Structure 1
Amino acid sequence: MPLDVLCIGHAACDVSFFVDQHPQENTKCETHESLEACGGPAANAAWLLSSWGLRTGFAGLAGHDAHGRRIREEFVSVGTDVSLLELRPGHLTPLSMILINRQNGSRTIINRKEKGAFLSVDTIALLPLKPRVLLFDGHELEASLAAMEAFPDAISILDAGSWREGTAALAGRVNYLAASERFALQATGLPDLQADASRRQCLVDLRKQFATRTIITLGERGLIYDEGHGFNELPAFPAHALDTTAAGDTFHGAFAYAIFCSMPLPDALRFSSMAAALSVRKAGGRTSIPTLTEVKEALAHV
């Protein structure tokens, strides 16, 4: 059956520890609160889209181990197509340790991922999926390029969290570049995006470099974007942040949903921003993803 959205990229297992403050080097600290779940940028987006009722597939690489099987089981539980999820014997499933600061909700992530291990996608296996939307996170460049070649009419979105080979190569090829502040600074060389002039210059530089619709998320400072007609900005919805883990993944998954539903870009960004704002109010990554009903109701009461 054809898919609505195909997400390609990174899947991991996450272990989150909640601490009263970020620990200093060469010290010990104790916590009584932790969470274990699956995660990853494209993986969380796929889980969100599946749980929101879209026919969604995930393509990525994990190990043929307990962590990899858990990743597959969590996808299956929400109906995600896992025909392109490879559980490779001898490969270590990516594993993340996340420290969440209770004082401000910030998260620090340490990710273990094997170098030089990439997903190879069989074009014959791709073709029956026929997705309308493609979402990449830059971790699986070869598979992402293969999907773009197989589905030239699909709307493509890049979740560019940081500058790496995959995000750099895909940024100028997709219909929507949805970049983090970190990626934007790495791509442009600007020192920060605090001033209005810097934010405007950043969008100009990214449009010149990649020539596509560009969005830069700025966390609690909202976002800026240019769909080809110049600078625009959208403030963040107020939220007391308990845990910011997966807020960006939630934003990108909600954005893919909005684009699939043919929302105009300003409406799609407002919708996605609300989903992200709701997510930071709960602990954990995937456990903090709001339901579609929650997002719609929150928007209706703004």
Structure 2
Amino acid sequence: MHAKVVVVGSLNMDLIVRMPRFPVAGETLAGHGFATAAGGKGANQAVAAARLGAKVAMAGCVGDDSNGAELRAGLLAEGIDCSGVATVPGVATGIATILVDDAGQNAIVIAAGSNDEMTAERLADHDGLLEAADIVIAQLEVPMATVEATLLRAHELGRTVILNPAPAVGPLPENWYSLIDYLIPNESEAALLTGIAVDSPESALQAAQKLLANGARRVLITLGSQGVFYADGERHLHLPVEPVVAVDTTAAGDTFVGGFAAGLAEGMPLESAIRLGQRAAALAVTRPGAQPSIPHRHELPA
């Protein structure tokens, strides 16, 4: 299978604890639910793109353990090409501990594990995946050197490059911006990249203008319940969303990225691809879990 969308990134097993509110330092708080679910930003985005209609391949690493086997099996069940997913002996598969409060907000702690084994050298072993792709997606849950190698090679091949700069810890390397066709941060990530507090379409415009000035071709800032703000060198627009009752916002951004990529791969106009991602993300937040919450195309409202 020649995948139109190739995702280079993380695979995690999510350990999800539900609670009435987040604990404060030193506090022991009684939760009211625990579950495990397949996650990891890379794998989430791959699953979203696949469920929303794209042919997808994944490149990443899992450990030689039960979590790794389960994550690989889950991707294969979605029809995702896993020839680029390596099993690394002696290393634990990545995990994310996700705390979800009764308002549906989450706080996440990640132990990278096998995701740190996704090196630039391993990526080079799967160059054929990038060569066959139309769209290449990366995030920041694998080593930065691997992300840079992904951006460089995909750009060199003339592929459409999407970077979801998550989890962001500060500004991106300056040389990355010119390699990115679509930079997709959320509000907090946009703030870390630019130093501008982003909490509205107006502040999103300021942040987007700074990111464009740094060299990004197009910027989409996801604003949660306020929708998505898009800007390029010629225009900008705010696409609001219909309000929904959020149960769990885990993987909402990943669902948007995967849906947007699926729309682009299908040849949709830009705004239609954004709307596809928005509709999918809006449905995802009404369900618990990461990958379990991601909808299939036929589930989306018209």
How does the TM-score come out when normalised to structure 2? 0.89
2:210 counterpart residue number: 205
Task: State the shift of 1:275 in Å.
Answer: 0.8
2:133 counterpart residue number: 131
* Ranges in structure 2 where 5+ consecutive residues have no aligned partner: none
Alignment of 1:48-59 (within 5 A): 48-59=48-59
Task: State the shift of 1:51 in Å.
Answer: 3.2
Letter of the structure 1 residue corresponding to residue 213 of structure 2: K
Looking at structure 1, the residues matched to 17 and 290 of structure 2 have their Cα atoms a distance apart, in angstroms, of 12
2:84 counterpart residue number: 84
Alignment of 1:132-171 (within 5 A): 132-140=134-142, 141-144=144-147, 145-146=149-150, 148-149=152-153, 152-164=157-169, 168=173, 170-171=176-177
Conserved in 2, the CA contact under 8 Å of 1:61 and 1:118? yes
Does 2:68 align with 1:64? no
Paired residue secondary structure (2:279): helix
Looking at structure 2, the residues matched to 33 and 124 of structure 1 have their Cα atoms a distance apart, in angstroms, of 41
2:235 counterpart residue number: 230
Looking at structure 1, the residues matched to 184 and 202 of structure 2 have their Cα atoms a distance apart, in angstroms, of 20
Looking at structure 2, the residues matched to 257 and 122 of structure 1 have their Cα atoms a distance apart, in angstroms, of 22
Paired residue secondary structure (2:17): strand
| 116-125 vs 178-187, which moves further | 116-125
Letter of the structure 2 residue corresponding to residue 22 of structure 1: F
How does the TM-score come out when normalised to structure 1? 0.89
Looking at structure 2, the residues matched to 182 and 122 of structure 1 have their Cα atoms a distance apart, in angstroms, of 29
Q: CA RMSD in A?
A: 2.3
Letter of the structure 2 residue corresponding to residue 88 of structure 1: V
For residues 233 and 122 of structure 1, do their structure 2 counterparts lie closer, same or farther at Cα, with a shift above 3 Å needed?
closer
Matched residue pairs, number?
Answer: 295
| 48-57 vs 224-233, which moves further | 48-57
Task: State the shift of 1:263 in Å.
Answer: 1.4
Looking at structure 2, the residues matched to 76 and 116 of structure 1 have their Cα atoms a distance apart, in angstroms, of 22
Paired residue secondary structure (2:179): coil
Task: State the shift of 1:89 in Å.
Answer: 1.1
Paired residue secondary structure (1:282): coil
Looking at structure 2, the residues matched to 50 and 211 of structure 1 have their Cα atoms a distance apart, in angstroms, of 26
1:113 counterpart residue number: 112
Partner residue of 2:287 out of 282, 290, 293 = 282
Task: State the shift of 1:255 in Å.
Answer: 0.7
Conserved in 2, the CA contact under 8 Å of 1:5 and 1:133? yes
Looking at structure 2, the residues matched to 166 and 25 of structure 1 have their Cα atoms a distance apart, in angstroms, of 29
Conserved in 1, the CA contact under 8 Å of 2:52 and 2:259? no
Looking at structure 1, the residues matched to 176 and 141 of structure 2 have their Cα atoms a distance apart, in angstroms, of 10
Listed one character per residue, the Cα deviations across residues 15-43 of structure 1 (whole Å, up to 9, x for unaligned) are 11111111233232333422211101111
Does 2:101 align with 1:101? yes
Letter of the structure 2 residue corresponding to residue 277 of structure 1: A
Conserved in 2, the CA contact under 8 Å of 1:135 and 1:156? yes
Conserved in 2, the CA contact under 8 Å of 1:213 and 1:226? yes
Looking at structure 2, the residues matched to 250 and 195 of structure 1 have their Cα atoms a distance apart, in angstroms, of 21
Paired residue secondary structure (2:161): strand
Letter of the structure 2 residue corresponding to residue 188 of structure 1: T
| 113-122 vs 67-76, which moves further | 113-122
Looking at structure 1, the residues matched to 191 and 178 of structure 2 have their Cα atoms a distance apart, in angstroms, of 16
Listed one character per residue, the Cα deviations across residues 63-115 of structure 1 (whole Å, up to 9, x for unaligned) are 1122111111111122211111111112221111111111x100111111249
Conserved in 1, the CA contact under 8 Å of 2:4 and 2:55? yes
Task: State the shift of 1:143 in Å.
Answer: 4.2
